[in-house]
Chain A
Amino acid sequence: MSLQEDMSPGEWLQRYCPSLDGQFLFLDPVSWQTFQLTEGAVTVLQEAAKAIEQDRFEAFLADVEEAGDWPPGLEFLARTLSTLHIATESPLTA
């Protein structure tokens, strides 16, 4: 098994957000708690994962807020995905 530190947010979703008869389970990479999600919620997390990998997560958060804010609890899960990614130009490396 790969170490979670080696996985991008997208890879994490692929492995730890499987579909079971149309419902999805998501393993939170920080707390290791499991959440049951709808397909729509997973789509949002996939978009968040892409944004994190492209270092535009803050812009993505602003877009979601503008579009009417997050479904309950989903922002927290998106933020846990961001822990799997080290920004290429983080303030610490600049």
Chain B
Amino acid sequence: MTGTAYRLLDVGAAQLAVASPIDRFHAHLDLVYPHHEPITTPRFADVRVGLLPGSRFRPRGRQVTLWADGQRPFEPYPHDCALPLFEWGSNYLLSQRLNAYLLLHAGVVARKDRALILPANPGAGKTTLTCALHLAGWRFLSDEFGVIDADTGELLPMVRPAPLKNRSIDVIGRRAGATLGPLFPKTRKGDVSHFVPDRDSFLARHRRACPALVVFPRFQAGAALQCVPMPRAEAAMRIGMNSFNYQALGPLGFEAVVALARRTVAYQLVYGELDDAIAHIEALFERLP
């Protein structure tokens, strides 16, 4: 008897394993993880999932289900949306499991291994800004997880495709150097296409960065750029609120967040134009001690 053929993905701070008989899913995976060499030796995976097709005779269209540890934690998706289901589902599972680290809901990019952290609520434009900064020359660490080693305060990369939604697909897609995966129209989160981080960021996925600047971004259509310094105590509170596991980590998470607030400078940024935001962030970064 042979075992299930899991496909292993080493994304930096975590390892993922996925098995599926759906050929189209694997073709999509090749497009959004183009730099990954096949890993043939069995390995531990933080998240191990199966994506299994449902009955082809279902009246309202065939579906795909994500299985993890013998359970189906999510509702099935349409059969041709296996990739978004894998990305969202495995991110959710990572957010529940990776408690060896403080996990912020944040985009992270870096220059010379000094990191800019972009914590934000959903819909604030975090992914769009993270991708645009990456295309402007910053190293891509993550668009979803700010992974912090509480012992050292360093950030670990989690280099995965970034899910762009609706208007952001075109905004990022027409920028020079942007590589996007297939378009998934009309998903539960609207139209989705995954932005592919560059090869250099992928190759640096085990190289940590030191936190230097924290910017809480908020996109507001038509708004003039506003950037306000944030007091450290307020920044620490906001960082904690934008974490997946801050409260679960208790004293460990508290000390990590306080240390992060002490070693960084924080701002709140409202922007209506992406290029204005990038230019302002570049200027803030240049002024750091």
Q: List 25 A-B contacts (CB under 8 A).
A: A15-B251, A18-B258, A20-B236, A20-B258, A20-B261, A20-B262, A21-B232, A21-B233, A23-B231, A23-B232, A23-B233, A23-B234, A25-B236, A25-B237, A25-B254, A25-B258, A27-B251, A27-B254, A32-B248, A32-B253, A32-B254, A34-B240, A34-B254, A36-B233, A36-B234
Q: Which of A1-36 contact B (CB under 8 A)?
A: 1, 4, 15-16, 18, 20-21, 23-25, 27, 31-34, 36
A9 to B254, CA, bound (A): 17
Q: Which of A4, A21, A34 is packed against the most chain B CB atoms within 10 Å?
A: A34
A50 to B262, CA, bound (A): 28
Minimum CB distance partner of B233 in chain A:
A23
Minimum CB distance partner of A35 in chain B:
B237
Count of CB-CB pairs between chains A and B under 8 Å: 47
Q: Mark B223-250, 1 if CB is under 8 A from A, else 0.
A: 0000000011110110010000001101
Main SS of the interface on chain A? Answer: mixed
Chain B: minimal CB distance from A11 (Å): 12
**Which residues does A use to contact B, with CB under 8 Å?**
1, 4, 15-16, 18, 20-21, 23-25, 27, 31-34, 36
A23 to B237, CA, bound (A): 11
**Chain A residues within 8 Å of B250, by CB:** 27, 32
Minimum CB distance partner of A34 in chain B:
B240
Minimum CB distance partner of A27 in chain B:
B254
Q: Are A33 and B232 in contact (CB under 8 A)?
A: no
**Chain A residues within 8 Å of B252, by CB:** 1
Q: Are B251 and A16 in contact (CB under 8 A)?
A: yes
Q: A18-B258, A34-B240 are in contact. Are A24 and B233 (CB under 8 A)?
A: yes
8 closest Cβ pairs, A-B complex: A23-B233, A20-B232, A20-B233, A32-B250, A27-B254, A21-B232, A32-B247, A36-B233
Chain A: minimal CB distance from B11 (Å): 29
